[in-house]
Structure 1
Amino acid sequence: MKRILLLILFFIVAGVNAQININIGAANVGTAPVSSFFSYSYVQQIYPKQEINANTAGNITGLTFYVDPSSTLTESSNWTVYLGHTSKTAFSSGTDWIPAAQLTQVFTGTITRNNNKVQVVFTMPFAYNNVDNLVVAAKENSPNIDINNFDEAFHVYSHISNSTLYYKGDRSVVDISAPPGGIRADYKSAITISGLTSSAGPACPFIMYPANNTQNVSLSPNITWFPVSGADSYKVSIGTSPGSVNVVNQQVVSGTAFSPSAALATGTTYYLKITAVSANVESSGCSEFMFKTVPAIPANDACSGAFLASVFPYSYTQDDAVSTTNNSGNISVCTSNGDTGMNDGTWFKLAGDGSQYTIKVAMPSGSSFDPQIGVYSGSCSNLSCTGTVDNGGGGAAETLTITTVSGIDYFINVGAYDDTTDAPENTFTITVTKL
């Protein structure tokens, strides 16, 4: 008899432990898993494998969602719930629904609220592979609405941008094989996933900034990440080679942001790893991110350091322009298209010989840098306007032709178009052709 009772107790405990809680203490409300404020809704949410943090593949037997205590669900209780696998972590647009063919219906019927919870028990378990991310989709089919203080009823938490896609309206029940255009959200439902067992340690944090392989990161970056459900602290490590901690070694952080106490080196590749800690247990298997800091200030940052164009056609790719300093401020010697000046960017120089020269500045594909060309004669301490051009927008090339005078030096400035603020420069290629 004792053995039977112990066995029953074991299965009860195992059943209670076979669940994963994700941010169930969240207090904000949002349109997920359904909308209570519109007659009909359809919502898809993506929970990444990393966030679920299951110790192995298994059968999901139900979901629990958390209701704001002040809300009612009387008219929003007719649900159909689906689960699925996906490689996506976010929705790319308002029509980027995960196809119905990739979803499995796990529940349909009337849900009930109990102690500010809605527990959805599946009619058939869903086999989660613990390889892909999990899609949780729910459709609300009642024709009426609930009037709540906060409009929506369910608790949500902030997470990866566009990780939820929802539609809500009053016309008709949504056909999930052809859903209408929806709205993306940066939050998800606080949720309990029944049937899966969590890994021994907390989940690995999602790093918000810097993203993996980010270039031109500040020398004093504000490193941020999403909070991990159940974590009480985090550890940050930074090194200059994979797996190293020679810059920051397992720094304990209580919040979700960190800046190194000493400035990082210019033009250097760093390796970043962040783990979560819960009850002295640290998350394992967390990925290492790589980022590169801004380059050193360009040698031709100031007019006095202008690069000499002496052999034509002259071409130079300025890939460190992001670190220009704007020196003494914007240059107001020339005006163009209503602008009263331009940023002090990087400088080039040519000696006048009576010939015409065409100066072209072009950006790499995909660039949003909006350059202006300013050409001046005289000396760095006494510039006179020869010409300027700012005809295009971000990513567009600029071209200017000038006629030189023998014995006169000409200084070419390539800077951001803005005439009042220090807008950032970026990579460009300047070509000077003698006509």
Structure 2
Amino acid sequence: MLGREYVNKVISEVEKRNNGEREFLDAVKEVLSSLVPVFDKHPEYISEGILERLVEPERQIFFRVPWIDDNGNVQVNRGFRVQFNSAIGPYKGGLRFHPSVNQSIIKFLGFEQIFKNSLTGLPIGGGKGGSDFDPKGKSDREVMRFCQSFMAELCKHIGLDTDVPAGDIGVGAREIGYMYGYYKKIRNANDQGVLTGKGLSYGGSLTRKEATGYGLVYFTEEMLNDNSLSFKDKTVLISGSGNVAIYACEKATELGAKVVALSDSNGYVYDENGINLDLIKEIKEVKRGRIKEYLEKVPTAKFVEGCRNIWKEKCDIALPCATQGEIDLEAAKILIKNGVKVVSEGANMPTNLDAIEELQRAGVLFGPAKAANAGGVACSALEMSQNSMRLSWTFEEVDEKLKYIMINIYKNSKKAAEEYGNPGNILMGANIAGFTKVADAMMSQGII
């Protein structure tokens, strides 16, 4: 009872202080609700105000980003960086460039990042950032000018041992390259480890592009194996068609699955014979095109408008890899009706809270984002290590370390769920395992 009262009190305070920030409030409720048994067992966390401090970012940076488009017109966007918690290491988290970016979304992502980074077992804290800038339809020179203006301010707040951003939606190797180049120029420092997701020619890591997608499949395969299942001969739906979706598709196919659908913001393609991944890579990674172009080469496939309709197709395994909130209660019910066995999150919180509850009630195995999609940030931390040592590991070396990390995340999440009385609830276990490491570090460092 003590734990429930404490959690409810903190949630109420968060709602008052962050009114209207729906994404952030949902993230806080999802995590805190599962921590009730922790506070019943460890009341010392309550007396030290751990939650009150944890839900409040250590620092929020909000800034103007002016830039000049190809027509000579001045454009102005908003830039964000939320440095949420540094108890176990420097802030670490991606930069998202997308029109939907606002304070609530950046705070939700940064809050999730605390626990995700903790679960990797690596010494990295939680942060997130980005802008409402949309790189789609912009020329390379426009993207470069925006990135340079963005970094002109961001550089004042990041550093090798302070805050290390990476990429996210809308921020790939091109954007990271432009930002790192400008950082290096204005700081007169070859601090390669200050940004991750870099090109291989200037400090990037092999396997980084594949890491989130591969990691998702490694985590999900461990969960499947633990329940006497596997990817072999399973039908898989994957939303999205960026790095996460593409390389989850690649690894799932290697393990014997048949991936039948991928999507983008316009809709999804369904190929009952299995997605031709080489064609998808050409469309998305080379041409930066739209996924419906798949039908030009594979006319037997179908394209359906409305990306969220993808969950109406039958599957054994669903891997949402597009964006937050894409599986709502209705989609969850359809997936259950169609016999889904596993839902594992490759995007950040793509499944609504009521949808998660519905899936768990139906006995569907559920892999939460903070555990299942931690492969990207884990590989980013491995990139930081290589930069610090002035070394470059082989693809196989990084991939082996990534797989080890993802398997351990599953095992630690399962162990925590069992320890706190809810065996099999990997969402609860991931929250607890991620939280307790951060909480213990905060306790050791005093009230700061």
TM-score, structure 1 normalization: 0.20
TM-score, structure 2 normalization: 0.20
Give the structure with the larger strand fraction: 1
Give the structure with the larger helix fraction: 2
Q: Which has the greater radius of gyration?
A: 1
